[in-house]
Chains A and B, each alone.
Chain A
Amino acid sequence: MEHWIYSINIAGHSAAFNLDTLITMWLTMLILIILALCTTKNISIIPGKLQVVGESIINYFVDTAKANMSEKEALKHSPIILTLFFFIITANLVGQLPWHLLHLHQGELASPNNDINMTAAMAIVVSVYYMYYGARRKGMKFFFHGFSMEGIILTLVDWLEFFIRPLTLAVRLFANILAGELLIFTFVSLCAYVLPIPFMLFEILVAIVQAMVFTLLSTIYIATAVEETH
């Protein structure tokens, strides 16, 4: 279960990269870029099939954002929300392809999200994003809620949430994808022929649901950070 580690040494400082995660991540990026170029090549009022799919996903998430924030804010924050969704769903589904036909000398190719570094990076980006926009919109009132009893409790809970939110976002996605792969390995070692098939189908469902859960939670965090106080 080790990764294929590639270490470089620049002027005395060393860094190690998990090269198998990077390879599947680059493949995910390539798939997304090709799909985006194909979809937007001939945009027309009467949409082709790919454009219908893209527009329905975008409409769903922008409508969910508009239900939680005001319209102007929803349009402003929808690029990061939609980027997260498209990247995570493509990354999860890339991991369900038959990668075990290729043998690496160390480590194995799988979904890029089975590495805690990948999901932690996305969770930290979402956290810093909502903290920045919350602080910019509300100033000090975002971090401190006043000296009353409920103010102190709200402040303490908020500071705790600063650490808990990226942690649970990262570990939820990582654990779901990794646990799916471990489950498939366990069943393949029991009986490799027909038994893993229902679990592989279940893993495809988990891939789509976890992408949606990450994106909806990020939307709710951004919405609670930038909402207008009453």
Chain B
Amino acid sequence: MAVEQIAAQGVDLAKLGAGIAIGFGAIGGGLGIGIATKGVVDSIARQPAIKGFAFTTFLLGAALAEATAIYAFVIAFRLAG
């Protein structure tokens, strides 16, 4: 009911949905990359010799965590355009 009243007043619900999608998607992506960075900094602090392997694994983990946020970005763009 409230949704129909809001839509009757001319608010474009698709664009609102796009904003909500990218908003929630960015939370997951940012948290995931932050936790991955914590992991890599802890491991280099414990054992500095592992720097090469840790950096590569960090990039892999950050790209995988970022992918979910990018799914949300693509859906948001599709809704808004």
- Chain A: residues with CB nearer than 8 A to chain B? 1, 168, 171-172, 175-176, 178-179, 182, 209-210, 212-213, 216
Q: Tell yes or no: B59 within 8 A of A by CB.
A: yes
Q: Which residues of B25-81 are within 8 A (CB) of A?
A: 59-60, 63-64, 66-67, 70-71, 73-74, 77, 81
Is there contact, CB below 8 Å, between A212 and B67? no
Give the bracket for the number of chain B residues in contact with chain A: 10 to 19
**Selected contact of A175 from candidates B60, B74, B81, CB within 8 Å:** B74
Q: Complex: how many Å from CA A171 to CA B71?
A: 8
Is there contact, CB below 8 Å, between A213 and B63? yes
- State the Cβ distance, B33 to closest chain A Cβ, in Å: 12
- State the Cβ distance, B53 to closest chain A Cβ, in Å: 10
Q: Complex: how many Å from CA A210 to CA B59?
A: 10
**Selected contact of A178 from candidates B60, B63, B67, B74, CB within 8 Å:** B74
**Interface residue SS majority, chain A:** helix
**Interface residue SS majority, chain B:** helix
Is there contact, CB below 8 Å, between B67 and A182? no
Is there contact, CB below 8 Å, between B60 and A212? yes
Q: Can you list 8 A-B contacts (CB < 8 A)?
A: A171-B71, A172-B70, A175-B71, A175-B73, A178-B74, A182-B74, A182-B77, A210-B63
**Selected contact of A179 from candidates B59, B64, B74, CB within 8 Å:** B74
Given A1-B81, A182-B77, are A176 and B60 also a contact pair (CB < 8 Å)?
no
Given A175-B73, A213-B60, are A168 and B81 also a contact pair (CB < 8 Å)?
no
Q: Complex: how many Å from CA A119 to CA B77?
A: 20
Q: Complex: how many Å from CA A183 to CA B60?
A: 22
Q: Complex: how many Å from CA A209 to CA B59?
A: 7
Is there contact, CB below 8 Å, between B59 and A176? no
Given A1-B81, A179-B74, A182-B77, are A209 and B63 also a contact pair (CB < 8 Å)?
yes
Residue ID in chain B nearest A1 by CB atoms: B81
Q: Complex: how many Å from CA A182 to CA B67?
A: 15
Residue ID in chain B nearest A213 by CB atoms: B63
Chain B residues with CB below 8 A from A212, complex form: 59-60, 63
Chain B residues with CB below 8 A from A209, complex form: 59, 63
Q: Complex: how many Å from CA A212 to CA B74?
A: 22
Is there contact, CB below 8 Å, between B70 and A175? yes
6 extra interchain contacts, Cβ-Cβ under 8 A, other than A1-B81, A210-B63, A213-B60?
A171-B67, A171-B71, A175-B73, A179-B70, A212-B60, A213-B64
Chain B residues with CB below 8 A from A179, complex form: 70, 73-74, 77
Is there contact, CB below 8 Å, between A176 and B67? yes
Chain A residues with CB below 8 A from B67, complex form: 168, 171-172, 175-176
